[in-house]
Structure 1
Amino acid sequence: MGAGVAQASVASHGPAASGQARPQYTHRQILEILSGLMLAMLTAMISNSVIATALPTIVGDLGGQDQLSWVASASLLTMTASTPLWGKLSDIAGRKLMFQTALVLFVVASVGAGLSQGIGQLIAARAGQGLGAGGLSALAQVILGDVVEPRQRGRYAGFMGAVFGVATVAGPLVGGFIVDADALGWRWCFYVCVPLAVIAFFVIQRVLKLPKTNRDTSIDVFGAFTVTGGAATLMLLLSMGGKQFAWNSVWTYVLLGGTVLLLLLAVVAERTARDPILPPRLFRNRTFVLSSVGSICVGMAMFGVMIYMPQYLQIAKGMSPAASGLMTLPLVVGMLITSTASGQFVTRTGRYKIFPVAGMFCVAAAMFLLSRLHTDSPEVLIGADLAVLGIGMGLTLQILILAAQNAAAPSDLASTTSGVSFFRNLGGAMGVAAFGAILTNRVASEIASGFHAAGIQRAPGADLGSPDDIQKLPAPVRDIVRDAFTSSLETVFLVGIPVAIIGFLAILALKELPLRGSSGRAKAVKEATGAGAGAP
């Protein structure tokens, strides 16, 4: 294998170098490269899904249930902010080196999370995990774009989507088993990712032989500071507003003003930089803009459900972590089937728009169905609702990246891919933070109303602790807390409906460009950008 890829590698300097041919890889070589990317992606994705079912127990043990959204959003925050940087750094230092660097960073942070003795240490370690995961998620798609033409990319992108499905189903199951096992404990939810990452590192070292490129580029330091700073201050505002400080407070206005200022400076930085992280010309590309809007919306729905659905199953339904993990099977099966099937169909027909359109419709329908759940909803109904969401995500996630890549110039492949990933992760971080703020504020109000309506005095400890703590409450108090949480979660999912509708309308306005090989790529780029022959 090594010799074959090495031979292909020297055929050209890669697609990122304008005007040069794409190296030709055989199907077997692509599958071997894909295996390394998939293993690394599995490592990054399972780090979030494996602790989804364990988060209520973790934060109940270290710092209280009200910290759950902050622990979850810490990794999403750094993953979001760092995604554009990884794409630019890979242009300078090389895809393989930066991909392996992200793996090492992820391993170190995972060990740190497992060793955490307090909620602050855990949040810091989760932030480190997010930095590594941001590089893995963005660069895997960039590398796939380097070695596979758009017309053939659908079949392989389907495999990448399948990895997400496997991680989503395996994570909650493994996490639930670890939490329930007395000999392990929740710390092993972080350690379990380490051997996978180590294996992925050596697989990538062996099979990934990308062409050497000499790019006349530099790091956009001012742009990096303003883009990541703007995303960070926005996430801090959404994560901490209404909890650590009131919405109508000095801190709110300081963070909001800082966000606006940094974003305005980011616009100036990207327009004046020689090699911007997010080139302004991308935002003149209709396909990139609409794909990014759709990615924000699907990211909000996806991460919001992944983080808060296990809470519903454990608190409202009284399930164990392992049982709540099993309940995610319909979501994953739906995602796995539709992601793989849609990728194969795109490769055969060259048509792709119908899939994200149908997918976002399913996401909106799923958010409505989930908002109708109650404490006594049957498991079959819950599974059916999650299956609809899985179908929607499977039809949407990978195809939006494929559409943006297909409309991009070869020299913009890394920026385009990391840009769409950035907005998807930004949507996820915004969803977790905003949904968490809504949930926390509503739960406190609903619990107080429940005790008042029942005519009983508020019992000590009648707040959201760990699921085990809630199950130990006296029956009348436990019922009030469970009903309050379920009612609050209904509001969260209702807020997700208009978000999904916005994503649906954005994708509906997407212009479908033909998926072509290298011979027709220039024409597709020209149609997408509306640029003349001299455009980059």
Structure 2
Amino acid sequence: MQLKSRSRAVHATLPEGMTRRDLRWAIAGILAVFFAAMVSMNVVVTALPVISRELGGTQIQYSWVVTATLLANASSTPVWGKLADMMSKKTLFQVANVIFFLSSLGAGFAPNMETLIAARFLQGVGLGGLAALAMAIMASVVSPRERGKYAGYIGACLATATALGPLIGGVTVDTLGWRWCFFVGVPLSVFALIMVATTLRVPVLRTPGRIDYLGALLLVVTSGLVLTWLSFAGTPEFFDWLSWQSALWLGSALVLLAAFVLVEAKVHHPIIQLRMLIDRTTFLASISSASIAVCLFGMPAFLGQYFQIGRGLTPTESGLMVLPLVLGNLIGALVTGRLITRYGRWKVYIVTGSFVMSSGMFALSTVGAATPYTVVLCYLLVVGLGFGAQMQNLMLIVQNTVSVTRVGQASALIAFFRVFGGAAGTSILGSVMALQVAGVSVAEVNGASPSPTYAEATGTMFLVGAFLTLPALITNLLIRETELRTTI
């Protein structure tokens, strides 16, 4: 009886003038545009080896097609979050979608790797807005207690898009060519623009203030320096970890980071509310989000290399091989989201999820050129289950600590750490791969017989990735469980 009464308490009051039917249409609009963006984000995964071959890309450029998007995503997310607390979230959502739409066209027509990376950077700006605003809009219309269910829907939408992206990319490369991988997101973006414009109804809660342009600039430059250092340091083409170049890059990043902290501490309306990080839950959840992000952003791209270059599969077959990872993510997100809404408890799911995810990553470190496909697929399923139990739930518990007028910045803060962690992880994994396959370019082995060098290097890369996920296990254990609000 106690569980039933707690379940009934979930149906909290909606914002004034908003019905349950309005809520369903709002969620539908959010999911539609979020799905469109994530499909376009992941469609490139299985196409990257072919793109790198045709455009003559290096291993570093290969990873930066992904890293550039993540860098722009991470750097722009706090700006979108600040704007979300100052003006209409719906309008900002549409602007972010238009940016993503235009950059998709630019990527599809790219004549070289440099242009493609630039277009992908612009895509990241749009994606940063879509990702941050999706949860911010939801937080404006749904209480934290009931939000667990809808956060599960977003996680499931992300998982489905992640699955369809590589599949669509593989089929498109094998039939129409890699450029159409970027064009495929165009009609989805147009559909989403119409859907959101005609159905989404969100109350506008404006917080007066001005944009911290200096803070935003310092954040972008600092993030770029750190990610560039992580990508180039230790690679034969650039410089050693212990060198004057490395010291210059890292030293500059630290100086700019100190300047960013000083600016944010003094301005009246900072781009990132540093006071939020004083909160124990927010601080630990931010570290955890950064730690687990390598599984979302770094793994798919390098799995494409493993299956296509290391094992000789086609892009379409490679896309199918990613399905267990996405299926696990889907199950983990949906099941834990509904359990949180029903019973109000969340810590057990994020702790268990972090343990399962790290175990799966260490298991993946054993794969090589002769590992049975069924074994690899089982490992991917385990990693997906662990990741799905954490991603949106970490966002949920942080939103529970702030008022609705600050939910945009809170959502953006976690999204920033998640995406920056993913970008940093991708850069590190790219550097590990570059060291392992030094002297063998992607262009030389793509389309030829399977390369055992790439297959064995993937195992080493996943071992590094496994260690990157361990901080999440520690921080999730340290987070104190608090009761979720039933009011917005």
Shorter chain as denominator, the TM-score bin is over 0.9
Matched, 1:29 2:41: no
Aligned counterpart, 2:220: 228
Of 491, 499, 509 in structure 1, the residue corresponding to residue 478 of structure 2 is 509
Matched, 1:392 2:386: yes
Matched, 1:195 2:187: yes
Q: CA deviation at 1:438?
A: 1.0
Q: Distance in 1 between matches of 2:151 and 2:424?
A: 26
Q: CA deviation at 1:500?
A: 1.5
Q: CA deviation at 1:24?
A: 6.3
Contact 1:407-1:513 at 8 Å conserved across structures:
no
Q: Distance in 1 between matches of 2:193 and 2:444?
A: 36
Q: Distance in 2 between matches of 1:267 and 1:260?
A: 11
Matched, 1:299 2:293: yes
Contact 1:51-1:189 at 8 Å conserved across structures:
yes
Q: CA deviation at 1:486?
A: 2.2
Residues 198, 498 of structure 1: alpha-carbon distance in 2 compared, 3 angstrom cutoff: same
Residues 517, 122 of structure 1: alpha-carbon distance in 2 compared, 3 angstrom cutoff: same
Q: Distance in 1 between matches of 2:18 and 2:444?
A: 51
Q: Distance in 1 between matches of 2:185 and 2:392?
A: 24
Residues 305, 212 of structure 1: alpha-carbon distance in 2 compared, 3 angstrom cutoff: closer
Contact 1:49-1:167 at 8 Å conserved across structures:
yes
Counterpart mapping for 1:348-367 below 5 A = 348-367=342-361
Contact 1:23-1:147 at 8 Å conserved across structures:
no
For normalisation by structure 2, the TM-score amounts to 0.93
Residue type of the partner of 2:177? G
Q: Let me know the Cα RMSD of the aligned residues.
A: 1.6
Matched, 1:56 2:25: no
Residue type of the partner of 1:324? S
Aligned counterpart, 2:258: 264
Contact 1:154-1:344 at 8 Å conserved across structures:
yes
The alignment of Structure 1 onto Structure 2 pairs a total of residues equal to 472
Q: CA deviation at 1:135?
A: 0.5
Of 492, 497, 516 in structure 1, the residue corresponding to residue 461 of structure 2 is 492
Q: CA deviation at 1:392?
A: 0.9
Of 96, 115, 133 in structure 1, the residue corresponding to residue 127 of structure 2 is 133
Consecutive unaligned residues of structure 2, counting only runs of 5 or more, are 1-13
**Cα deviation 1:361-416 (Å, max 9, x = unaligned):** 11101111110111111111111011001101110111000011011233321111
Matched, 1:84 2:53: no
| Secondary structure in 2 matching 1:213 | coil
Q: Distance in 2 between matches of 1:63 and 1:509?
A: 47
Q: Distance in 1 between matches of 2:325 and 2:339?
A: 21
Matched, 1:69 2:63: yes
Aligned counterpart, 2:5: none
Aligned counterpart, 2:272: 278
Contact 1:142-1:413 at 8 Å conserved across structures:
yes
Contact 1:334-1:394 at 8 Å conserved across structures:
yes
Q: CA deviation at 1:332?
A: 1.4
Contact 1:33-1:207 at 8 Å conserved across structures:
yes
**Cα deviation 1:104-141 (Å, max 9, x = unaligned):** 00011000000011111101101010110010011101
Q: Distance in 2 between matches of 1:48 and 1:204?
A: 20
Aligned counterpart, 2:230: 238
Q: Distance in 2 between matches of 1:293 and 1:88?
A: 21
Q: Distance in 1 between matches of 2:461 and 2:48?
A: 18
Of 144, 164, 171 in structure 1, the residue corresponding to residue 158 of structure 2 is 164
Residues 277, 398 of structure 1: alpha-carbon distance in 2 compared, 3 angstrom cutoff: same
**Cα deviation 1:349-372 (Å, max 9, x = unaligned):** 011111111111111011111101
Q: Distance in 2 between matches of 1:466 and 1:126?
A: 24
Q: Distance in 1 between matches of 2:169 and 2:323?
A: 14
Contact 1:295-1:420 at 8 Å conserved across structures:
yes
| Secondary structure in 2 matching 1:52 | coil
**Cα deviation 1:477-516 (Å, max 9, x = unaligned):** x6xxx22222222221111222212111101111111012
Q: Distance in 2 between matches of 1:268 and 1:87?
A: 20
For normalisation by structure 1, the TM-score amounts to 0.85
Aligned counterpart, 2:452: 483
Q: Distance in 2 between matches of 1:34 and 1:243?
A: 49
Contact 2:100-2:127 at 8 Å conserved across structures:
yes
Counterpart mapping for 1:296-335 below 5 A = 296-335=290-329
Residues 122, 347 of structure 1: alpha-carbon distance in 2 compared, 3 angstrom cutoff: same
**Cα deviation 1:51-76 (Å, max 9, x = unaligned):** 10110110111023422111111111
Aligned counterpart, 1:376: 370
Residues 486, 348 of structure 1: alpha-carbon distance in 2 compared, 3 angstrom cutoff: same
Residue type of the partner of 2:189? A
Q: Distance in 2 between matches of 1:380 and 1:490?
A: 16
Q: Distance in 2 between matches of 1:243 and 1:151?
A: 51
Aligned counterpart, 2:35: 42
Matched, 1:344 2:338: yes
Consecutive unaligned residues of structure 1, counting only runs of 5 or more, are 1-20, 448-461, 472-477, 522-536
Q: CA deviation at 1:249?
A: 4.3
**Cα deviation 1:16-39 (Å, max 9, x = unaligned):** xxxxx9446433322211111111
Residue type of the partner of 2:41? N
Deviates more, 1:290-299 or 1:273-282: 273-282
Contact 1:46-1:167 at 8 Å conserved across structures:
yes
Q: Distance in 2 between matches of 1:87 and 1:384?
A: 37
Contact 1:60-1:465 at 8 Å conserved across structures:
yes
Residue type of the partner of 2:448? I
Residue type of the partner of 1:510? I
Contact 2:264-2:273 at 8 Å conserved across structures:
yes
Aligned counterpart, 1:103: 97
Of 442, 446, 465 in structure 2, the residue corresponding to residue 464 of structure 1 is 442
| Secondary structure in 2 matching 1:374 | coil
Q: CA deviation at 1:156?
A: 0.6
Residue type of the partner of 1:516? R
Residues 335, 24 of structure 1: alpha-carbon distance in 2 compared, 3 angstrom cutoff: farther
Contact 2:152-2:337 at 8 Å conserved across structures:
yes
| Secondary structure in 2 matching 1:92 | coil
Of 109, 119, 133 in structure 2, the residue corresponding to residue 115 of structure 1 is 109
Residues 466, 77 of structure 1: alpha-carbon distance in 2 compared, 3 angstrom cutoff: farther
Residues 326, 467 of structure 1: alpha-carbon distance in 2 compared, 3 angstrom cutoff: farther
Contact 2:49-2:442 at 8 Å conserved across structures:
no
